[in-house]
Amino acid sequence: MSVLTMNNEVDVSMAHPLFLLLLRKRIVMELVKFERQLRLMMMLTQNRNHTLEDLGKMLGMSPRSVYRYLEAFKMAGFVVRKTDKCYYLDKSSPYFKDITSLVHFTEEEAYVLKRAIESLDGGSAMKQNLKKKLYNLYDYNILSEIVVRSGMADNVHFLYEAIKEKRQVLFKSYKSSNSHTVKDRIVEPFAFTSNNNEIWCYEPLSGKNKLFKVSRIGKVVVLDAVWDWESKHECYFTDIFHNSSNQCLPVKLRLGMNAVNLLLEEYPLAEKYLFKEDKEHWILQTEVSRYEGVARFVLGLMEDIEVLETLEFNNYLRKRLVFAVKKITR
């Protein structure tokens, strides 16, 4: 039996052995539960799709138990979404950014770390410990899939090396959506965007700083030539729709629930420019570098968005609509 002290605390040293055994068992069970909850939360913040069955297999528990954890997350204030039987934590959840910034890299960053770890000499204990820690977050198959899927991770790795060594690179078969061409580009890369999806480069041929999408680069070849134009390197303003230029254009929109949900899912940086107007409407007031990105968003959800400002943006939308109607009626 347990013995209470004057402070109503359990004196474990005088407790019955059976009580100690049960106490240890309970502590272990709670630790296992806590570990599984943490691992589940990490899985739900990855850019991957997981069904209840998938999550159960990875955690060593039944789908029903996983579902109970998801319900507990909801009760704690997290927004748990379900799409085609797959679950994930919505980016609008409280502390989502804190969680992802603490426990996650982007997949490309994780693969770059994997390459760096693999480059260490031999089978040292440090190398094995680093690999174990990385694979606790991203299993080997996930990291390998990145390369098989698109080669983006290799491109990111070589671009990081080029920036560090201040070297020019060759973009093999870059697919440009602006000029609708596929051709090689020689550039001086100098800065990634925050998610590694795009990179700022100075292009000597055009004499301009440009933002290139990593996914559109066929292959990155690091050249022997060093930077010649470092004094001209400049990052321009990048808006929440991932467009960049040296200008800032104000826009103000009234959004319904569907529009605001899609906005936060696709463009999470928009959150700090939103405020709630009433139960069913939100106001987005921000600046954009060009109208193209915000226009695509507005035209795709016209029934749930009202343009409040500016006259210039309204005129731009009218021109886009006239052009679209002409294409349809041809």
- What confidence tens digit (pLDDT) does each residue in 80-116 have? 888 778 887 766 555 555 554 545 555 555 656 666 6
Q: State mean pLDDT over 225-229.
A: 93
Q: What dotted CATH number matches 244-329?
A: 3.30.70
- What does the domain layout of the chain look like in residue ranges? 3-101, 105-149, 152-235, 244-329
- Which residues are CB-neighbours of 214 under 8 A, at least 6 positions away? 108, 152, 155, 156, 159, 196, 197, 198, 199
Q: Rounded to whole angstroms, how far apart are CA atoms 88 and 68?
A: 15
Class of domain 3-101: mainly alpha
CA-based end-to-end distance of the chain: 89
Fold match between domain 3-101 and domain 152-235: no
Could you count the other beta carbons within 10 Å of the beta carbon of residue 57? Answer: 13
Which CATH code is given to the segment(s) 152-235?
2.30.30
pLDDT number for residue 187 = 96
Mean local confidence (pLDDT), 216-223: 92
Are the CB atoms for 287 and 249 separated by under 8 Å? yes
Q: Which of 166, 232, 177, 225 is nearest to 203 (CA)?
A: 232
Question: pTM of this prediction?
Answer: 0.46
Contact 45/106 with Cβ under 8 angstroms? no
For residue 151, the model assigns a pLDDT of 53
Q: Which residue has the higher pLDDT, 77 or 142?
A: 77
- 150-165 tens-digit pLDDT: 456 678 778 888 988 8
| Higher pLDDT, residue 131 or 242 | 242
The DSSP result for 46-111, as a single string, is SSS-EEHHHHHHHHTS-HHHHHHHHHHHHHTT--EEEETTEEEE-TTSTTHHHHHHHH---HHHHH
